[in-house]
Amino acid sequence: MSLEMTAGPTPRGRVKLPSQLLGSWEAGLLAFMALLYLAGVLINPAFFGTTDAISAVLRDTARFGVMAVGMTFVIVNRDLDLSVGSTLGLVAVSFSILFAPTHLDIDAGTATAICLGLGLLVGLINGVLVAILRVPPFIATLTMLFIGRGVVLGLTGGKTIGYDIKARDYGFFALGETNGLGFNNQILIFLLFAAVGALLLAKTRIGYETYATGGNDQAAQYAGINTRWVRVRAFMLSSFCAAVAGLMNVAQDKGVTSQYGQGAELIVIAAVIVGGASIAGGRGRVLGACLGAALVVLIDKVLREGVPTTRVIDVGGVKMEVAAMAQLPPGAVPAFLGLLLLGAVLLEPLVVRGNVLGRLKGWLLRRDVPASADSGGIAIVGVKTMGAASDARGVGLRGLRAFLHRRDAAAIILMVVLWAAGFWLRPDFWGSLDNSFNLLLAFTEIGLLSLGLTYVIANGDIDLSVGSVLALSGAVAAFTMKELGGDPATAVVLALAAGLACGLFNGWLTAKIGMPAFVATLGMFYIARGLAAWLVSGRQLSGFPEAYNLLGRNLSVVLESFGVHATGAFAAVARAVSVQTLFLAIVAILAAVVLGAMSFGQKVYATGGNERAASYAGINTKRVRLLSLVFSSLCAAAAGVIYVAYYRSFNPAAGQLRELDAIASVIIGGGSIFGGYGTIIGSLAGAAVITLIRALLSLQIFLSDGSSFVMPQHWMNVFIGLILLAAVIGDIWFRQNNILGEWKRRRQARAQARHDARAAGVAA
């Protein structure tokens, strides 16, 4: 860990902020924002040329900025909090249920206090999972994202809760209104949090402990710092800030929807990283994060502004000039945001630490070229697993014991139990071939994504872009056929080529440049999603050739299109089995053979288990990681092709949050988020578990009295999150730490000690 300190006394008459508060990175952000704002003035002077524009940017920045303050402490700690968006939504919904006259109808002060306490509780749970139970922060907070989003949907039932009339009687809602000075009061809250957060991180023991823990956790412990408490405290602060942002939302809107906070976590993380924080920990400033949040909002506003123009239209043979606005197509904002995120992460190690400007100046002036401050590039390598010692004890086992020892056994057993539960509840429906066909259709998309992610996660990497790549490849296929008039074969080839390009870009950034896979694929998450919306102009496309739609149909439809009519038992099977199911089966078999029985699969496991040792053994780990990310993107592209064929249309929202389902499938199926483990059959079983949970929660149950009910499907994400959490905790404590074996060993040691003591007493 290294902290920049102010060298020497500051000359009298000069005011110099400490480098922990403000530095050259923030100055660069301010300069870039000034240029961006100037572009806005040139585009639309009627808006950006007034103070209203600055007030609007700050107002929209306020909530993201408050959340970025808390996220800075977490990221500087070398952790991550994916749950802040769900926490915002959970707090907003909880306040609405407590306050709304149609629900509990309590006063605003009590509701606010309860909601702030709820935010702290969520942070405490995150901190305990990460610091005490040693669950990786990515998985711990991903689980809370699932659970929080499920609770929000469950509490609201997908509906809006409003309370405009009651809100008039409470001063709390003035927080979301414009004050006498002409700006929104939320800006004051944002500035207060930014100032307090910056001082805490830069000038207090809390901040120094945070930098120390993120820079070198082990050294911080040797220095007497309680690093566990430091990490728990950061998560509590992050969730508290998210809770405040949720209250700011309801204060302004005087109501809530079930979509509150969705996607906010990735925007906040991007803002903190753009603000100069290192995803590897030990570096970051609150003011930089706040400027990053403002920059993200400013980009959104500038790119969404249109340029005033004049269009000529023909009305009954008469040409008329009408005023219009020329705007960038939908998707430009997220695509630009993704490029900005990747550029910010690359700029610091390659330009700043590499002293590119100083070296260029020295070369131009023919002086001695100064050495690079850090020749190691980015080289951010995540923590790897120490190995699951208990796995070795499975050697030599046979039969049921050997099966139960497998990491994917729990997922397979759970899959069977869930299917049996559905059959027990509705044998008339669940066991039919038609229902099996529908289950397989719902399973294919997440199954394909999980195949590629099995390789990536076994490598010790992560791919957050698979849902967006699915959308991009689907958009390419739809655009090729609908707008360009291309044939189905050309559409499929171009869609797979788009997925290949995304995978190569992810692999290049991760394996060749050394960028963390989380950041690289987060950037692609935005870029691919933006390009997909850009390509189709935000519209839903449909009306594709029937030859293409056959990719999403069952075999009976395909055979009939060729004039073949199935009969008997084969006809029933043909109606139940689809083209996409066969495609998934073929890809799964090939992927399983490569991963389990070929040298490349062993290289994947070796790279994920210990990348440095694998390199010493002669394995080209960079190539292995690159090819795994390429395979993941190709699987996502294939899923996008099938998505368009199955639905016979393309929606820009395709694949939304599917990356989280696929990651959960791999982990539930026995894959280790630390790397080194994972099987294809386990990942498919995990995907089946998620598919079956969703199917069960939408199943209509008939009672003996003739009535019926449908299970609360809004809560399905809660079940998925709990299963995911149980799978990870089981992996860490029951497999890696062999807690049951250790408990048994200590119990036997105590029994032996008592026996020895009794024997010594008898001998005496």
Q: What is the pLDDT of residues 659-693, one digit of tens each?
A: 888 988 998 888 887 888 889 999 999 999 888 88
- pTM for the whole thing? 0.81
Average of per-residue pLDDT across 499-512: 94
Q: What pLDDT, on a 0 to 100 scale, did the predictor assign at position 12? A: 41
| Residue 231 predicted with pLDDT over 80 | yes
> pLDDT confidence of 10, banded at 50, 70, 90?
very low
Q: What pLDDT, on a 0 to 100 scale, did the predictor assign at position 685? A: 92
Q: Which of 141, 82, 31, 138 lies closest to 262 in space, CA to CA? A: 82
Lowest mean pLDDT among 23-27, 313-317, 538-542, 723-727: 313-317
| Residue 455 predicted with pLDDT over 90 | yes
Residue-averaged pLDDT of the chain = 82
Q: What is the spatial distance between Cα 96 and Cα 254, in angstroms, rounded to a whole number?
A: 9
Lowest mean pLDDT among 168-182, 290-304, 333-347, 549-563: 333-347
| Residue 336 predicted with pLDDT over 90 | no
Q: Which of 304, 248, 279 lies closest to 521 in space, CA to CA? A: 279
Q: What is the spatial distance between Cα 125 and Cα 538, in angstroms, rounded to a whole number?
A: 39
Q: What pLDDT, on a 0 to 100 scale, did the predictor assign at position 324? A: 57
Q: In the Cβ-directed half-sphere of 105, how many Cα atoms lie within 13 Å?
A: 5
Comparing 406 with 219, which gets the higher pLDDT?
219
Q: Which of 323, 267, 245 lies closest to 87 in space, CA to CA? A: 245
Q: How large is the angle between the packed helices 658-668 and 137-156, nearest 10 degrees?
A: 120
Q: Which of 630, 401, 441, 408 lies closest to 517 in space, CA to CA? A: 630
Cβ neighbours, 10 Å, residue 671: 31
Can you tell me whether residue 113 is helix, strand or coil? helix
| Residue 449 predicted with pLDDT over 60 | yes
- State what percent of residues in the chain have pLDDT above 90: 35
Q: What angle do CA 697, 700, 706 make, to 5 degrees?
A: 145
Q: Enter the tokens of residue 557.
A: 């439809």
Q: Which residues have C-beta within 8 Å of that of residue 154, sequence separation ≥ 6?
A: 712, 714, 715, 718
Average of per-residue pLDDT across 147-175: 87
pLDDT (tens digit, 9 = 90+) per residue, 618-665? 999 999 999 999 999 999 999 999 999 988 899 888 888 788 889 889
Q: What is the spatial distance between Cα 20 and Cα 276, in angstroms, rounded to a whole number?
A: 12
Query: In DSSP terms, which residues pair with 307 in a beta bridge?
Result: 326
Helix (H) or strand (E) holding 319: strand 318-326
Lowest mean pLDDT among 90-94, 296-300, 428-432: 428-432
Comparing 429 with 497, which gets the higher pLDDT?
497
Q: Enter the tokens of residue 234.
A: 């950061």
Return the DSSP state at 394.
Answer: G
Q: What pLDDT, on a 0 to 100 scale, did the predictor assign at position 11? A: 41
- Which range has the top average pLDDT, 218-232, 347-361, 390-404? 218-232
| Residue 277 predicted with pLDDT over 90 | no
> pLDDT confidence of 393, banded at 50, 70, 90?
very low
Side chain identity at residue 644, one-letter code: V
Q: What is the spatial distance between Cα 487 and Cα 482, in angstroms, rounded to a whole number?
A: 10
Secondary-structure breakdown of the chain: helix, strand, coil percentages, each rounded to the nearest 5: 70, 5, 25
